[in-house]
Structure 1
Amino acid sequence: MNRREFSAQLLAGGLSATGLAATAHAQGAPVEGTHYVKLAQPVPATPGKIEVIEFFWYGCPHCNAFEPHLDAWARKLPPDVAFRRVPIAFRDEPYTAHQKIFFALDAMGLIPSMHRKVFYAIHNERQRLDKAPDIAAFMTKNGVDSAKFMDNFNSFSTQTKVRQALKLAADYKIDGVPALGIQGKYFTSNSLAGSGEGSLAVADYLIQRERKQ
């Protein structure tokens, strides 16, 4: 999903990233400018690692559908790859509230247990989760100390991370989600690669390329 609300194909059913790569790129490697974009100005990345960043928004249905595939992929990454998620905002609300939910959960070490629950609440239970009382009630319902959570939600640290996320997305020239940034040099997306698993296959290709370099 992006500012222009373009329609992205998602998640070729039943194909692994390897299988999709073999199918989608049977005539060669992913093509720069078609399956991924190379940044004109590199972005600083995690030193000593090959960094992969997922740019997402909790309210994006494509991100919601992509998450199980991304999570399974990320769990199998080798030690030399550093993966992280960055929530982004194309306008203030509800994007910023959802950014702050992620950063507050991250500060409390609750991403593993709560990340998918936030997606589920928004897309399956039709909760907006863009107002403080509703967010606090959702956290309480799920066994999270809502007072502690809201302290993190409103903290200076979270505000700083929101600004940093906005700058990082701007530096990567991200205009739609979900998207993957690789090593501060490239980005791909479900739209560019043709599907969610296609973007993971392109990410695998770029990781291998960086490893050889």
Structure 2
Amino acid sequence: MKKRWALLLAAFAINVQAAQQSEAEPLFKDGKGYYSYKTPLKISLPKDKVLIQYFYSYGCDVCLSGDDYLKNYAARHQDKVVLQRSPAFEKGNAFSARMNATFAEYGRSELSDLFLFDSAGQKPEHSLTKSNQLIEKWLLKHNVNLRRFQDLFHSAGVEKRVNEDVQRYKTYSPPMIPMAILDGKYILISNTLYNDDYTYAVLDFLVDKLQQEREVK
């Protein structure tokens, strides 16, 4: 009987210890929910708000979901965050940047979001990022003049916008896409941006953390 009680007490002690460790373990930490630059980037930050820089590419499923979650979060927390969205240059590919810039120069910036949506989840043979014919069909569907769009695509105005995006991309040098960077310090990638509730929880944690860090300074 004594041996039995000893075993029960030992098991209880182990359970208590595990519970205490669980309570002490933070819900999010570097490597769990988010990552960090070894050295924070020296960038211009908005006053009293956290800057969320987001890099995406057309034809990227997770980029679409991450984009939606970040836009929703920024809309709900306009007093706390500023969201800046930029096209990526994976392997030197400027397609997303040039298309995004052309939409802007054309005066139809809203088409960029729509193209991101329609280009996600497509099979290679139906990809809006691979076929000029499908791109032209898509543009016509949305009442875009092909000749004007093509002229703008190779214009100086688009080139200027693309160069600005290139410089921003070089500043952050994201090793993967999608990627969101908060205040040039904390990083969110696809293993966080795939789920809305999880993304919002991590963002709440990091925004509060960054605000506390600023107060300490």
TM, length-normalised to structure 2: 0.68
Q: CA deviation at 1:46?
A: 4.1
Q: Deviations over 1:21-69 (max 9, x none)?
A: xxxx994252124432332141413432421121111122221343433
Q: CA deviation at 1:87?
A: 0.9
Q: Which amino acid aligns with 1:103?
A: A
Name the SS for the 2:78 alignment partner. Answer: coil
For the pair shown, which has the larger CA radius of gyration, 1 or 2?
Answer: 2
Name the SS for the 2:206 alignment partner. Answer: helix
TM, length-normalised to structure 1: 0.69
Query: Gaps (5+ residues) in structure 1?
Result: 1-24
**Identical counterparts, % of pairs:** 18
Aligned to 2:41: 42
Aligned to 2:74: 74
Aligned CA RMSD, in angstroms, stands at 3.1
Distance 1:122 1:180, change over 3 A: closer
Q: Deviations over 1:101-146 (max 9, x none)?
A: 1122234453335413443145348233346665344222211233
Q: Is the contact made by 2:36 and 2:187 (CA closer than 8 Å) also made in structure 1?
A: yes
Q: Which amino acid aligns with 1:105?
A: F
Aligned to 1:144: 144
Name the SS for the 2:51 alignment partner. Answer: strand
Aligned length: 186
Q: Which amino acid aligns with 1:186?
A: Y
Distance 2:50 2:105 in 1: 23
Per chain length, whose mean CA-contact separation is higher, i.e. which structure has more relative contact order (CA < 8 Å, sep 6+)? 1
Q: Is the contact made by 1:53 and 1:85 (CA closer than 8 Å) also made in structure 2?
A: yes
2:172 aligned with 1:189: no
Q: Is the contact made by 1:88 and 1:169 (CA closer than 8 Å) also made in structure 2?
A: yes
Q: CA deviation at 1:90?
A: 1.6
Q: Deviations over 1:138-167 (max 9, x none)?
A: 222211233443343223333333333334
Aligned to 2:8: none
Name the SS for the 1:174 alignment partner. Answer: coil
Distance 2:139 2:45 in 1: 31
Name the SS for the 1:79 alignment partner. Answer: coil
Q: Which amino acid aligns with 2:190?
A: N
Distance 1:176 1:138, change over 3 A: same
Distance 2:54 2:46 in 1: 18
Q: Is the contact made by 2:62 and 2:193 (CA closer than 8 Å) also made in structure 1?
A: no
Aligned to 1:20: none
Query: Gaps (5+ residues) in structure 2?
Result: 1-22
